[in-house]
Structure 1
């Protein structure tokens, strides 16, 4: 049974991420762990932390548990899927530390988090909490933008520079999702010029990927361009991509696609979920 961690702050954004996950894994037996973190925060003073009174801490956790209970009741009333089981946990801890500990204790397979983009000229694809989880926690993560709605998972976009070798166990997460939805995979390599040749290492990684997905509906292509964000934007819109997948240790792509401030017109991230694969 797949175990999925859903960090929640009880917002509409978090609810949307949950409902997306329920639809994505509707046909699979899953144990969903609804996880609320009451974060420890720093004061303005250096090296000091706000430590609540013992009774205050108990009250905070009590309130969180009541909210989780209401959430669980709402879920079970709204979604009737015998494949899905739910558990709720509330903690008081630093955000990343709390998730790391929960992963160690629960053997989580996947984290699903909602993301809320900023407005104005400097749009970003993900929030700070999701960004910290991607960079500091080695667990596959599905980042669900606030406006993402699950309809189908027909087409998955996999941008790569072929510089990074990928373990089979990492790709197994992706293949399992593809099998559930009979999804097609587009592996896209972006070259800066027409006559640009792959190195021997890139050729090996390219052959490995194509061989691994040889029994799946996949296509590998080479696109000429220098602006990765614009290439992805075009592919998402023109070919109706439903998800973008990346490998976490490919820091170049992670930075360019997820963390780089984007101009107003680059808005593909608003509706397209990102699956970030970790070793």
Structure 2
């Protein structure tokens, strides 16, 4: 966890994420990359000119750097190496390219979620990053004066495609000295017996050299509610799961549980792309 990326629009939600990043950076001697995205409408761009030559771009870039300077004066960022960047991509593309360029280990983003028609047609910027990022994304919803993760839920169907992401979750748990609560949610539409579920989960966990975990099967009306209700019942500090990164028409019809949790869960959510 040497390089942490925090996309910011200088909002309260973004600063909540930055404060969490600062705590992790101090614990793990990490660098923080602060990224601000300037989304300039393409129809306003002269194809013979670069973004950097647009008067609007110059103005907003100077404004962003001024805000960066004010932000870096905050006490909670003292003694942390901060690298700032202003980008002209759409936010999910800007995050993607920044992660590739700097070999980012973790993205931390703030979100207040999206709901209703906005969620269905547009979704939050954080949701778009979760859907497309190949780097793990930690989504922060609230202010955390002290960000300690002692127990977190890893929700899955525990099929082989999730083994790579579970390995990443184990690495995260070891760094934080946290216990993982493996969770399979049983629903009326996708019901399996408890015996079958336990056998699958035990075989899944057996493949890893990690013992600080529990196995849990929870019945609920759907997977999203099951994850949130179980997490509430054990007062989990974090929810972690895989995301398939569906896009386009497939995402519209099938949805993504991880993206729904990003919008609806009150707890921090950590996602790993399959």
Task: Determine if the TM-score, normalized by the shorter chain, exceeds 0.5.
Answer: yes
What CA distance in whole angstroms lies between the structure 2 residues aligned with 1:172 and 1:261? 21
| 1:130 corresponds to | 126
Q: Secondary structure at the match of 1:70?
A: helix
Partner of 2:41: 41
Task: Check whether the contact 1:140–1:276 (CA below 8 A) recurs between aligned residues.
Answer: yes
Partner of residue 219, structure 1 = 214
Q: TM-score, normalised by structure 2?
A: 0.79
2:92 touches 2:129 (CA, 8 Å); kept in 1?
yes
Task: Please identify which structure carries the higher helix content.
Answer: 2
Structure 2: gaps (5+ residues): none
Matched with 1:180 is: 175
Residue 114 of structure 1 contacts residue 143 of structure 1 at CA under 8 Å; is this kept in 2? yes
> Judging changes above 3 Å, is the alpha-carbon distance between structure 1 residues 243 and 229 closer, same or farther for their aligned structure 2 residues?
same
1:228 has 2:229 as partner: no
CA contact 1:117–1:123 (8 Å) conserved in 2? no
Q: Which moved more, 1:235-244 or 1:158-167?
A: 158-167
1:6 aligns with 2:1: no
Deviation at 1:173, TM superposition (A): 3.4
* Alignment correspondent of 1:237: 232
Number of corresponding residues? 258
Contact 1:4 1:31 in 2 (8 A): yes
The alignment status of 1:144 with 2:145, answered yes or no, reads no
* Distance verdict in 2 for CA 1:205–1:224, change over 3 Å: closer
C-alpha distance in structure 1 between counterparts of 2:262 and 2:10, whole Å: 27
CA drift of 1:277 comes to: 0.8
Deviation readout 1:14-56 (Å, 9 max, x if unpaired): 00011112224532121100111111236xxxxx455676233
Instruction: Give the direction of change, closer, same or farther, for the CA distance of 1:148–1:230 in structure 2 (3 Å limit).
Output: farther
Partner of 1:259: 260
Worse overlay, 95-104 or 59-68: 95-104
* 1:108 Cα offset (Å): 1.0
Q: How far has the Cα of 1:233 moved from its partner?
A: 2.7
Q: Counterpart of 2:204?
A: 208
Q: Aligned partners of 1:33 and 1:273: how far apart in 2?
A: 20
